[in-house]
Structure 1
Amino acid sequence: MKLFNLFKKKRTGKMESSTWNTLSEFKDVQAILDKSNERPQLIYKHSTRCSVSFVLKDDLEKYAEQISQKADLNIVYVIQQRNISNAIATEFKIRHESPQAILLKDGEVIWKGSHWDVNAEEILNRLKSVTIEQT
């Protein structure tokens, strides 16, 4: 029974660590848009009702240290924050999907992926090319 309870706690969708900046208000979307002028921003749209979303979130968290050296990691819980998720789709003119990852630089979407296209290796490669272009 304890094992089940531990598993259930992990799947609540609540932030387990300081890995992610949680987007919970409209002003948070504008803030990361502004921050993207100084540093790339990763937005991960996570669904607490989707097993694929949990698998991909875990993958990103395994590489969080490497990713965070090049970009800030932001998360929106799409079930709990549907209005924020919709605002992101509208602001960046991309169709909402979850799970979904969006990379921003200089106020523009430089890459987006959904479902199994979301993986840490691809994100790190995209961030590497952004870093090379800046030097």
Structure 2
Amino acid sequence: MNWIELINVVQLNDIKEKSFAKTQIIYKHSTTCSISRMVEARLNNSKENIDADFYYLDLLTHRDVSTAIAEMFGVQHESPQILVIKNGVCTYHESHTAIQIFEIAEQV
């Protein structure tokens, strides 16, 4: 997985704009959560070839960005959480152990 680090709120506008040309995926990760570590490993070890940009948010370090994501895309904050962004809106989101790479691939 080639992650793009998500570290500031300004990037969210870029993600939204880019989503009109290519699917954007945001993974919200808690570095202190064992479920989050398990999901991250599952994503990193996947052999799926998904044509999307993948963003990684350390939500403990960048809580302001996590809050802005919830507000911008109308999705309640959870952790870990995956969001699929297409045409400026969140078309799919899931959290915890329900995050499955094959479901993400189906959404793209």
Coarse TM-score class (shorter-chain normalised): over 0.9
Higher strand share: 2
Q: Of 100, 104, 108, which residue of structure 2 is paired with 1:123?
A: 104
* Whole-angstrom distance in 1 between the partners of 2:24 and 2:60: 21
RMSD between aligned residues: 1.3
* Whole-angstrom distance in 1 between the partners of 2:24 and 2:99: 15
Where structure 2 has 5 or more consecutive residues not aligned to the other structure, the ranges are none
Higher relative contact order (CA 8 A, sep 6+): 2
* Whole-angstrom distance in 2 between the partners of 1:115 and 1:82: 18
Secondary structure of the structure 2 residue equivalent to 1:59: helix
Identity %: 34
Q: Of 34, 41, 50, which residue of structure 1 is paired with 2:17?
A: 34
Deviation, structure 1 residue 63 = 2.4
Where structure 1 has 5 or more consecutive residues not aligned to the other structure, the ranges are 1-17, 128-135
Q: Of 55, 59, 62, which residue of structure 1 is paired with 2:38?
A: 55
1:30-53 CA distance string (max 9 Å, x none): 111111010000000000010110
- Provide the TM-score with structure 2 as the length reference: 0.94
Q: Of 82, 85, 88, which residue of structure 1 is paired with 2:69?
A: 88
- Which has the higher Rg, Structure 1 or Structure 2? 1
Structure 1 ranges of 4+ moved more than 2 A: none
Please say if residues 19 and 64 of structure 1, whose CA atoms lie closer than 8 Å, have aligned partners that are also in contact: no
Please say if residues 48 and 101 of structure 2, whose CA atoms lie closer than 8 Å, have aligned partners that are also in contact: no
1:21 corresponds to: 4
Q: How many residues align?
A: 108
